[in-house]
A and B are shown apart, each in its own frame.
Chain A
Amino acid sequence: MILNVNGQQRNVDVDPDTPLLYVLRGELGLNGAKYGCGLGQCGACTVLVDNRAVFSCVTPVVALQGRRIVTVEGLGSTDNPGPLQHAFIEEQAAQCGYCTAGMIVRAEGLLRRNNEPTDAEIRAAMQPNLCRCGTQVRILRAVRRAAVVIRTQAEAQG
């Protein structure tokens, strides 16, 4: 089966009902998305499918042929972080860090469809993702900061 992950065609040999999360971590070495609850309730495993945030732990790969999958690794690197990754660092929006990749990807899904979200829209969009350390206020700040950066970049590009 061929999956489009972070812009690359990746060939994987797995059962069709295998959750995407297991394929990302076990087959493709993409360990950003985390296994939290395995029930689609905590958001640690969030990735984008065709620009929309989904829980990869309850997403069977058979549903994903021809779809564009983006993980947190596709948004930037340690040396060259993307706007959201940079904003999370600037705001120190993590404590244990386990939820962070999911949070960044969930926020990426929001900012791709709406780069000028209100606080209410940010809260509504981030609602499916849980942080047990209590960094939510910093996460909100990071999303707001990244939105400004993304808008500025978009305006600079005309």
Chain B
Amino acid sequence: MRYVVLALAALIVAGAGGFVWLGWYPAIAPVPPPARTSFPPAAVARGAELAALGTCMSCHTAPGGAPFAGGRALQTPFGTIYASNITPDPATGIGTWSEAAFRRALHEGVDRRGGQLYPAFPYDHFTKVSAADDADLYAYLMTRQPVRASAPPNDLSFPFDYRFLITGWKVLFFRTAAFRPDPAQSAQWNRGAYLVQGLAHCGACHTPRNLLGAEKSGEAFDGGEAQDWYAYALGKTSPAPIAWTADGLYAYLRQGWQAEHGDALGPMREVTDDLAGASDADLRAIATYIATGFGKQGPPGPQVATQAGPGEALYRGACATCHEDSRGPPFAGLDLARSSALRAPDPANLANIITDGIPATGETREPIMPGFGAVLTSRQTEDLIAYLRTRFGAPHPRDGIADAVQSARTNTAQLEAAR
């Protein structure tokens, strides 16, 4: 018995030692902030396109804040994480990071001092970025305007506020890896695969996550969640009534909406805003790669006859004028028989859109929709969603509606207070 206890104790000590060893990274010595002129303009220009593809700006910029200066709150199931300042400010940004330190952060999830980074920073994808692209991204970020700004401390629930636990998370879920092209596929497809799996980190939202926040390995692109929005499945389980094609995906990524599928909203709108800086060729490549994952959906299923409930009159008075207008987006509403939001397993997006609408942004031609949060009560919104999901053939049309509406109303009230 004593030997068993001793052996157990030895195992624990060895395990703890191994844990420390696994989680220990040396600090990389600070460097004087490199001069802007030390980077070739061509590298900076390529880095700008890469940063757009990586949507660095939308996460690392607070609402109304300076670009890349961090402080933006990211809600996770474990609490709130504040994005860091990635401008070249020496004190609060990455001004003293060498290219090696920058590359290690991208590929291994470790900051310059050797501290573990939370996987909200998607290094599980960025580990596949090529060395040449690392260098160009570094050139771009180190030539931005330095901004002195410290992000608020993270607000995570116990025990996730202990960074050493990230070591265990990495042992379980993270492997450094290079991108491996598929020689059977075209160069364009492989370019898309490289971007989607790596820098563009599409799976960070569109793949479901397990209880510890890691992407489920066998369920790539089966639909995930981001900031109280549902990120649609991008494969055979896509809820889109009309199958996505490479051309359709390209148009959607390029302009932020597409006539047969509608508008990019919520976090995806931030993505398409960032993608404005990406090249046509790269967006075509992404579309080509993603499109191969979709099956051949048929035309929209027959509409289900519904009993006239409280939702029907609301639909007729509030929705039908625009959504039964045959012109379609961007001049009229989407034919709701084409809506992915209505057929998704999660009613979150529907609740968000009905409550907040589609605000007019920018100067480009794109769909808008008034929000109905001030018109409809929670109960009326729930009735309307139940009616729409039943009529247009959502699976389990009544599931999750009350929670989705409550969350949408809370978030919209915060948005309105900030506007």
Interface residues of A (CB under 8 A from B): 15-19, 38-41, 49-50, 52-55, 57-63, 124-125, 127-128
Alpha-carbon separation in the docked complex, A45 to B241 (Å): 35
What distance in Å separates the Cβ of A116 from its nearest Cβ neighbour in chain B? 15
Q: Are A38 and B321 in contact (CB-based, < 8 A)?
A: yes
Residues of B within 8 A of A (CB): 310, 312-318, 321-322, 332, 360, 368-370, 374-377, 380, 419
Distance (whole angstroms) from the CB of B361 to the closest CB of chain A: 10
How long is the Cα–Cα vector from A60 to B380 in the complex, in angstroms? Answer: 11
In the complex, besides A58-B317, A62-B314, A63-B375, 17 extra interface pairs with C-beta distance below 8 angstroms are: A17-B314, A40-B322, A41-B370, A49-B375, A50-B374, A53-B374, A54-B375, A58-B321, A59-B318, A60-B316, A60-B318, A61-B317, A62-B313, A62-B317, A63-B317, A63-B377, A128-B370
The interface residues of chain A lying within 8 Å CB-to-CB of B375 are 49, 54, 59, 63
Q: How close is B363's CB to chain A, nearest CB, in angstroms? A: 13
B362 → chain A, closest Cβ, in Å?
Answer: 13
Q: Which A residue sits closest to B316, measured CB to CB?
A: A17
Cα–Cα, bound, A19→B321 (Å): 10
How many angstroms from the CA of A125 to the CA of B374 in the assembled complex?
A: 14
Inter-chain contact B317/A18, CB cutoff 8 Å? yes
In this complex, the member of B315, B317, B360, B377 whose beta carbon has the largest number of chain A beta carbons within 10 angstroms is B317
Residues on the A chain within 8 Å of B380, using CB: 63
Do B317 and A19 touch across chains, with their CB atoms under 8 A apart? yes
A41 and B313: CB pair below 8 A? Answer: no
A-B pairs under 8 A by CB, number = 58
> Are the CB atoms of B360 and A58 closer together than 8 Å?
no
Inter-chain contacts of A127 with B (CB < 8 A): 360
Contact A124 B370 (CB under 8 A): no
What residues on A are CB-neighbors of B369 within 8 Å? 40
- 6 smallest CB-CB distances across A and B, nearest first, come from A60-B317, A17-B316, A40-B370, A52-B374, A17-B317, A16-B313
Q: Decide: A124 near B419, CB < 8 A? Known: A17-B316, A58-B317.
A: yes
A61–B370 CA distance with the chains assembled, in angstroms: 17
Q: 29 pairs across A/B with beta carbons < 8 Å?
A: A16-B317, A17-B312, A17-B314, A17-B315, A17-B316, A17-B317, A39-B321, A40-B322, A40-B369, A41-B370, A53-B374, A54-B374, A55-B370, A57-B321, A58-B322, A58-B370, A59-B318, A60-B313, A60-B314, A60-B316, A60-B317, A62-B310, A62-B313, A62-B317, A63-B318, A63-B375, A63-B380, A127-B360, A128-B370
Q: Which residue of A lies closest to B325 (CB)?
A: A39
Cα A127 to Cα B377 in complex, Å, equals 24
A128 to B360, CA, bound (A): 8
Q: Considering the chains assembled together, what is the distance between the CA atoms of A61 and B376 in angstroms?
A: 11
Contacts of A57 in B (CB 8 A): 321
Nearest residue in B to A16 (C-beta to C-beta)?
Answer: B313
> B360, B368, B370, B375: which has the most chain A beta carbons within 10 Å?
B375
Q: Which B-chain residue is minimally distant from A38 (CB atoms)?
A: B321
Query: Which residue from chain B places its CB closest to the CB of A121 in the assembled complex?
Result: B419
Q: Which chain A residues border B377 with CB–CB below 8 Å?
A: 63
Question: CA separation between A19 and B28, bound complex, in Å?
Answer: 66
Residues B314 and A63 in contact, CB atoms below 8 Å apart: yes
Smallest Cβ-Cβ distance to A48: which chain B residue: B374
**How near does chain A come to B388, taking the closest CB pair, in angstroms?**
14
